[in-house]
Amino acid sequence: MTYSLNPDMDVDGLLARAHQFDPQALSQLHDQLYPQVYRYVAYRLDDPQACEDISSEVFLRLLDVLKKKVHTVQSARAWLMGTANHLVMDYYRNKYRRKMEKLDNHDNLPDYHSLEGETESKLIHQEVHDAMLNLTDDQQHVIALRFSQELSLEETAQMMGKTVNAVKVLQYRALAALRRQLDRRYM
């Protein structure tokens, strides 16, 4: 069964109905916000399968919270993006742990793949992605919210629990750090 989406539908109104486990509200909430969550995760990861897994996990966690009948979710979008941020950080922690375990096992050599056939766009994307990994978690979070979600400074500040000025400084420093890293790679 599909539901037509009203782009003006109040997401937090849907959340109130979702707290009552209204199937239509849950479906509309998912349909409206899944693309935004996926875009946010994809902005930070370079693995489409992991992006799908994490985006789906975000909504499963929302269902778990709603099942507990605890009204801790005040803003659906902020809660979903915050949860996505935490899952992305978990992904990188687990990836790092697996990489270290693999290196500890001398029987397994690192996998190398040829860059032949890669497009220039893919290479640039990878360079930016790699440079973003060297940013702090907050810097990655602000860049992803501002550019993958196209949120205003005010919306970003609200989602991150920071002031608008703090977000401006964080964004400025993040972009400056990215620029320095990319400049070093091309010098």
Number of domains forming the structure of the chain:
2
Residue 110 banded pLDDT, cuts 50, 70, 90:
very low
Q: Are residues 105 and 129 in the same domain?
A: no
Average pLDDT over residues 106-124: 51
Read off the pLDDT of residues 117-147 as tens digits, 9 standing for 90 and up: 446 667 777 777 888 888 899 999 999 888 8
Domain boundary among 83, 112, 141: 112
Q: Are residues 88 and 144 in the same domain?
A: no
Give me the count of residues in the chain: 187
Read off the pLDDT of residues 141-174 as tens digits, 9 standing for 90 and up: 999 888 888 888 998 999 899 999 999 999 999 9
Enclosing domain of residue 169? 116-187
- Predicted structure pTM score: 0.61
Contact at 8 Å (CB) between 76 and 15?
A: yes
Domain boundary among 79, 112, 145: 112
Q: Are residues 49 and 83 in the same domain?
A: yes
Residue at 64 is within a domain: yes
Q: Are residues 128 and 90 in the same domain?
A: no
Q: Are residues 89 and 130 in the same domain?
A: no
CATH number, position 161: 1.10.10.10
Average pLDDT, the chain: 80
Q: Are residues 42 and 65 in the same domain?
A: yes
